[in-house]
Structure 1
Amino acid sequence: MPRQDMPAARPRSITPPFPEPLPIRRLEQTVINRIAAGEIIHRPASALKELIENSLDAGSTSIRVTIKDGGMKLLSIQDNGCGIRKTDLPILAERFTTSKLSTFADLSRLTTYGFRGEALASISYVAQLSVVSKTKAETCAWKAVYSDGVLTAPKAGATSEPKPCAGNDGTTITVENLFYNTPTRLSALRGSSEEYARILDVVTKYAIHNPHVSFTCRKAGSLSPDVSTPSASTTAQAIRLLYGQTIAKDLMNASISSSTQSSSTPDSDDDNEDSSSWSAEAHFTSPHYQGKKTVMLLFINHRLVDSTRIQKALESIYAGILPKGAAPFIYLSLHIDPRSVDVNVHPTKREVHFLNEEAIIEQISDAMQKKLVEQNQSRSFEYQTLLTGGVAEQHDKGKSKERAKPEQPEKEGGTSSLSRDDSSSSTSTAPAQAKKTLSQHKVRTSMQDRTLDSMFPIVNPTQPAHNGAGTSNTPTDEPILQPLRVREIKESQCYLTSVRNLRQEVQRGKHSQLSEILEKHTFVGIVDIHRCLSLIQHSTKLYLVNHGALAEELFYQLGLRQFGNFSRLKLEPQPPLRKLVALAVDVEPGIERSSMTRPQIVDHIVDTIVSRREMLQEYFSLCISDEGTVQTIPMLLRDYIPNLDKLPLFLMRLGPQVAWTSEKECFETFLRELAFFYVSEPLLPASAEATGGEEKGEEKAMRWQIQHMLFPTMARYLVPPKSLLDRDVVQVANLPDLYRVFERC
């Protein structure tokens, strides 16, 4: 039989078999808690927000926040609220434990910040949490440490029960090493400076909404806080303090409520009116203010929330008023009946839903727009009459002081560019009157104005007067009104790398604001010559300065400026170097504790200086003869004579205080010692002023040098570093603030 072909086999399917279903398991409780914690605690600022709300719920009037490394290493909040009972501490950090709710129906009438009972629990799952709390009824505070929501022992071998400790009324919560067990969340955070900025933003917003509460926020180890508000202030005062005068001077406010809307619908049901009642308080900037970015502070029932719809609605009001790219500042506090608000829509309570949202937003927008339009129609612009801050000359008394008013109305659709009190007509014959500068904004600029010392007759004691016979007399009582002209001090050419580096360091450390203060200051007077305190004025502000510290930095920089090209101050007669050093060593305290005797110390210092006298003469013009006498010392400032009573101390300090083995350190430390020698400071105690006329004459000479030589030279040559602001330059008065104080009296 013939062979028949077999049918071709069908290709085998390449579809994989249906996968087996995986078993459903119950997650471990630790995993559940950390997932839940991620919904509540996003970053240090969100943890701080929850803690601030707890402090406010506790009735606190003072809240202090301390931060380290942007809140990732340390976040501490201390309040003076009602505290936590000892019996409640064991379940404090467990999930869904709260004192704000008992039944689900309580959500419909909720008026507190926290209610979910998840904040402290979430923090304990991702950080090391400790609580110190004391109620007014208890005799001591109690400290508890938590981990994963339960009490834990603070150290090995100890019990986990709360421990008694010292503490004030209230609660202190400390959060350390945030996200230590969730490295992915930790690595997703920004730098410590940005996280700290977010924390300051949260504290600032709550401080504005709660002006009756004192808020303080500072970095750990810092003496001055970055945010500090007093208690018992107003919202406008808090905005002025935290956001500055630029916003505060253009701030407007409006109070809106549902009463205006309900009056137009008198037939509505009473219960309906009660449930839909609301009120709002708004503080917003006028058309004069033009910010770079919209600043929106929105609180609904005292809770800080975000609402894109509300923000866009309020921003649209300014669209036709502000120029393109400008943005407003808006603070809005909305109070709605709790029955109309659903607060349980977001784990962090950043969003809320409420009834009649569109109608409420529309009514608030209309009220704000009405205020802005009224302000915009009388819009005026500030201008400066003189660059010096003075007032332009007034017109003759016979001329009319009334400003011309425009008779023609504004064009339709346009915005007014000048005030209605200002004339926009170019054909007006009335002279334009310069804008008057208020007294509190006037700046004294004339050097002829009286200083503190000008009330007493003072002359230059370093320039003795002469009588007709040509003999020298004591200083006369004729006052010198004009200060000496500051001589030009040229910078020497130096090719040493070490000196160039020192000069560059001075320029890099320049503080621009302090430089402007010193360059344009007006000398007021010496407050205390023994403590080196003086008063200077810049613009409308008064500063108390340590002229000794400023002079020391000035002379150091003058030494760098003239390195290798100093003028010389010749000493006659030439004092022996050894004798000068011996005088200083004899009165130096603490020599008895040294392993060397006083003569040995003197020999060591003299040998150190003499062995380097060629270098001292070449670079610093400090000349020491072969016989060991001091011939000349460097002159840092012409016509300025240092107190030669300090010469023994200066020479003695050259031995131990100068780093002779390193070039850069040697030059720097020598110039520092030279600057300390040049600082004008009396060596006698304050009680020695009445010992005789000689001491009084020396003090007069010192005062004259400080006022007429030191401060003018500082204004021209000093490059002030930021370190001087820490304690040597302090603002003590501001003229506009003083006027406000006097207005309250």
Structure 2
Amino acid sequence: MAELSNTPKPIRRLQEAVINRIAAGEIIHRPSSALKELLENSLDAGATSVRVTVKDGGMKLLQIQDNGCGIHKDDLPILAERFTTSKIASFQDLERLTTYGFRGEALASISYVSHLSVVTKTKKDICAWRAIYVDGALAAPDGSPIDPKPCAGNDGTTITVENLFYNTPTRLSALRGSSEEYSRILDVVTKYAVHNPHVSFTCKKSGSSAPDLTTPSGSNTKQTIRLMYGPTIAKELIEVSVSPSSGEDSMDVDDDATAEGPWKAEVLCTGPNYEAKKMVFLLFINHRLVESQRMKKALETIYSGIISKGSSPFVYLSLQIDPHSVDVNVHPTKREVHFLDEELITRKICDTVIEVLLRRNTSRVFEYQTLLTGGIAPVDPSQNKGKGKKRARPEGEDEVSELVRPMAKKLASQHKVRTSQQDRTLDSMFPVVNLSQKGVDGQQPAPVKVSEIRSSACNLDSVLQLRDQLDRVKHAGLTEVLQNHVFVGIVDLGRCLALIQHAKKLYLVNYGSLCEEFFYQLGVLQFGDFHRITLDPPPPLQALVKLAVDAEDTSKSKSSKSSITDAIIQTIMDHREMLCEYFMLEISETGTITSIPHLLKGYTPNLDKLPLFLMRLGPQVKWHSEKACFRTFLRELAYFYVPEPLLPSEVSDADKANEAALRWQIQHVLFPAIAKHMQPPKSLLDRDVVQVANLPELYRVFERC
């Protein structure tokens, strides 16, 4: 063994390329960490719509498109250099920081380990600018210097990261499979979507027509949690607000608590009845997604004495604290922050949460599910007096089946299922609220005959591509369930939930999502050949859009409500002829709406949603691309046609009559039409169609009781 030398080795200055590569390794660990940095840049830019496209788990492609403020062309040469930022100018600015980014290392780090390109446009620019970066500097793909090039593009920024870690094979080989990396990406987008419900997020794989994650803009945190994590968590959520003075008597304040500065915490946590194997903990401090093992451990501890052993809660915690009390510059990826009085604040939050939980824990609620199997209705003796009277044969049943019936083998109880739409439904078990629910003879109205819907003759390539996409994403198993289902009943009109049965299985379906997809497909099939609903008298476009804009929260917008209204109206009027020709949305030169498209015979949309529909046409429709324009318009039209949930407030007799009519339309018009014409995509199986019972399995359970 060679002896160690006592002579010290010389200290050398590392090359700039080595320094940058080391720094990049600290910031960008995997595709999801690169996405986190890019998402934060989009949110800092004031984006209200963020679209993420991924290929091979983000290793081949990671693209994020936003509609934020964009980047000035003059700033592009130094955009990807280290420590170039628009967030701070001096070190003291860190003490009052309210943005996500501040060091200016994200894009620089990404450019050192990938092929980075940026397309950006500000509202004042007449065109977009495209720039390519290699090792933090503007360059052509071959590495030679090059200036930004003009190109077509929308307001905002599109950042494309290709071949991530191509020059660091060790880091690339250490990554998991593409499916796991994609799951991490979805997790990052989900968390930011929950905390930013006013922003529309979309995440999909490259080449896929249907997104794996999508959220609407203008929602709230609870609704987004329901959309992202499912209704099971959402219905158990408890809202808790915590501040230094909450829950304390003003005459008896702990001396230690006086050290706390101003802060406020908003908590959404599950109650005692919720059980899961793994805890989900979303922590945002001053809107920054961070981790805190101390807070997580403290919350786990308070739940351990309330919920059953082996179960874990869901907790979303947003903490607003004075920026002067927070040190954000303690971790390369900003995953952790330090702040003053952390122990006191944590204790205060936990004390308040456990107080609320204990109040809810006075009586545990145990839920169970049953399968409604229908059965044969008892025979009325008054209708079959005397022997020898022949039983009335149901329509379609021949004499052979009449002769075979006595020889049929007795069916086991666990295999008896509903086979007829005439069997008893959930709604039949409740008293009729209003006589308008019944026909003239006092009986329920007969179901509407489903009319045939044929594809219109259309030679536009964009429309043909949309129709082709419907065929490619069709799920055969779900199609079989919907085509041959038996409608059981509406479970919750407010949450758009209904029960259907297929064979021996019972399914809980979100008919709102089913209807939205169904009406979109009707729009694609009937493109250019819609029927119309005439509005008489025709309402003014100006008044309807203004009504919807006034109801929106535009406090974060730089434009006034009147200017937003004018911009939307101008956009719609500029495309007035196209809307009339293709969609039967007819608007006069004076700005009155004379007709709207009619998608399904026997069903009329809730016209109270017309102002919202017209308002969303301005920002949500991609007017500058033919295929995207048709797709986004038809999506908005489908959203307009979805049966609107009723508010759980006090309702009048007229509202009850409208609710009864809506229930009837859902059962006798929408579900039969869906069964006949819909091509359901696989994405509906993620959250909107859930099996809740299987008859043979339930029978075995009850046999043991």
Q: What TM-score bracket applies, with the shorter chain setting the length?
A: 0.5 to 0.7
Q: Deviations over 1:427-467 (max 9, x none)?
A: xxxxxxxxxx985999xxxxx998646799xxxxxxxxxxx
Gaps spanning 5+ residues in structure 1: where? 1-13, 394-436, 443-447, 457-508, 525-534, 547-714, 716-722, 736-745
Alignment of 1:515-530 (within 5 A): 520-521=485-486
Specify the SS of the correspondent of 1:363: helix
Residue of structure 2 equivalent to 1:194? 180
Alignment of 1:240-389 (within 5 A): 240-260=226-246, 264=250, 276-384=261-369, 387-388=372-373
| Paired AA for residue 78 in structure 1 | Q
Q: Deviations over 1:192-249 (max 9, x none)?
A: 0000000000000000000000000000011111110011110000001111111111
Residue of structure 1 equivalent to 2:111? 124
RMSD of aligned residue pairs (Cα, Å)? 4.0
- C-alpha contact (below 8 Å) 1:256/1:279 kept by paired residues: yes
Specify the SS of the correspondent of 1:241: helix
Residue of structure 2 equivalent to 1:172? 158
| Paired AA for residue 65 in structure 1 | V
Distance 1:171 1:384 in 2: 49
- C-alpha contact (below 8 Å) 2:212/2:683 kept by paired residues: no
Alignment of 1:424-435 (within 5 A): none
Residue of structure 2 equivalent to 1:642? none
Specify the SS of the correspondent of 1:136: coil
Distance 1:190 1:70 in 2: 9
Alignment of 1:4-43 (within 5 A): 16=3, 18-43=5-30
Residue of structure 2 equivalent to 1:153? 140
Distance 1:439 1:94 in 2: 65
Question: Taking structure 2 as the reference length, what is the TM-score of the superposition?
Answer: 0.56
Alignment of 1:654-665 (within 5 A): none
Residue of structure 1 equivalent to 2:385? none
Offset of 1:381 from its aligned partner? 2.2
Distance 1:441 1:142, change over 3 A: farther
Distance 1:116 1:232 in 2: 30
Q: Which has the larger radius of gyration?
A: 1
Distance 2:289 2:54 in 1: 21
Residue of structure 1 equivalent to 2:589? none
Specify the SS of the correspondent of 1:377: coil
Offset of 1:288 from its aligned partner? 1.0
Alignment of 1:38-187 (within 5 A): 38-154=25-141, 160-187=146-173
| Paired AA for residue 219 in structure 2 | S
Offset of 1:383 from its aligned partner? 3.0
Distance 1:238 1:536 in 2: 29
- C-alpha contact (below 8 Å) 1:262/1:273 kept by paired residues: no
Offset of 1:111 from its aligned partner? 0.7
Distance 2:52 2:6 in 1: 55
Distance 1:438 1:522, change over 3 A: closer
Distance 2:261 2:205 in 1: 44
Alignment of 1:631-710 (within 5 A): none
Offset of 1:173 from its aligned partner? 0.4
- C-alpha contact (below 8 Å) 2:501/2:507 kept by paired residues: no
Residue of structure 1 equivalent to 2:207? 221
Distance 2:129 2:428 in 1: 53
Specify the SS of the correspondent of 1:139: coil
- C-alpha contact (below 8 Å) 1:441/1:540 kept by paired residues: no
Distance 1:450 1:341 in 2: 65
| Paired AA for residue 58 in structure 1 | A
Q: Deviations over 1:327-369 (max 9, x none)?
A: 1100000011001001000000000000000110011001111
Distance 2:162 2:689 in 1: 41
Aligned residues: 433
Higher relative contact order (CA 8 A, sep 6+): 2
Distance 1:123 1:258, change over 3 A: same
Offset of 1:189 from its aligned partner? 0.2
Offset of 1:25 from its aligned partner? 1.2
Distance 1:17 1:320 in 2: 58
Distance 1:69 1:520, change over 3 A: same
Q: Deviations over 1:553-593 (max 9, x none)?
A: xxxxxxxxxxxxxxxxxxxxxxxxxxxxxxxxxxxxxxxxx
Alignment of 1:341-740 (within 5 A): 341-384=326-369, 387-388=372-373, 452=447, 520-521=485-486, 539=507, 541=509, 725-726=680-681
Residue of structure 1 equivalent to 2:405? none
Offset of 1:510 from its aligned partner? 10
Gaps spanning 5+ residues in structure 2: where? 379-424, 431-442, 452-473, 490-499, 519-674, 691-705
Q: Deviations over 1:128-161 (max 9, x none)?
A: 00011111111111110001000002468x8510
Offset of 1:23 from its aligned partner? 1.8
- C-alpha contact (below 8 Å) 2:478/2:682 kept by paired residues: no
Q: Deviations over 1:250-271 (max 9, x none)?
A: 11111111233897489999xx
- C-alpha contact (below 8 Å) 1:343/1:351 kept by paired residues: yes
| Paired AA for residue 267 in structure 2 | A
Offset of 1:96 from its aligned partner? 0.4
